[in-house]
Structure 1
Amino acid sequence: MNCLDLLAYIEKRPLMYLSEKNIKILESFITGYYLCEGLNDIPSQKDDIFREKFYYWLIEQFDFLQTTHTWRGLIEQIAKFENRDEFDCFFDYLRLFKENYGIVSTELELT
């Protein structure tokens, strides 16, 4: 399993993995995932595309974004502009990002 596959599970049942549907908690969860991966020398696969390209992809999609230090800051700006929930906004744009890069979750059979 990699981070993108895990995010698909979180999208389907967020309260199974997080204490609440909150973008800050999700960001902490993802950071913890990458920390665990690094500390245990687990080689990443598709993870790098999220870590390396999602932030820049968001900037390319929206010309009004102010540069922030994290993808979460960009999502917060987009959600505010679109008057949407940040958590749901993240997963909508993650889905579009994955489609843009032709990424399909191979391990998941979410029902």
Structure 2
Amino acid sequence: MTASNESPVYDLPVLISNTEFLSSNDSTLNKNFNIKNTTSGTISTYSHTNGISDYLKQKIPGLGENIEDDHDKPSDVNKDSNGKITEYSVLRAELTDIQDQVNTYLTELMAKEKESK
């Protein structure tokens, strides 16, 4: 049971199809990317690859790691007058989810490539 000030968790529509990377050179690199945040309780526009880039940290001394210092930080999800998460917020969160997975995978591939040299 949820507390009186909390909204019940509900399923969100899947607006973006799951996608995959298919390498034409090496099938062992193939990777599926699936939407993970599928309920109102897990949806987020933030991800672990969000944040201040290393480039900006080098250019602006003392910028730090705090997401609140990031001028490009994503906005929170929006809700309509009925308290439901808006379709645009679902779309933005799903894009963030897939982008985060792709960023993580690309970082892994680049690290492996660097190690092999």
User: What is the TM-score when the length of structure 1 is the normalising length?
Assistant: 0.29
**Normalized per residue, which structure has more strand?**
2
**Which has the bigger relative contact order, CA under 8 A and spacing at least 6?**
1
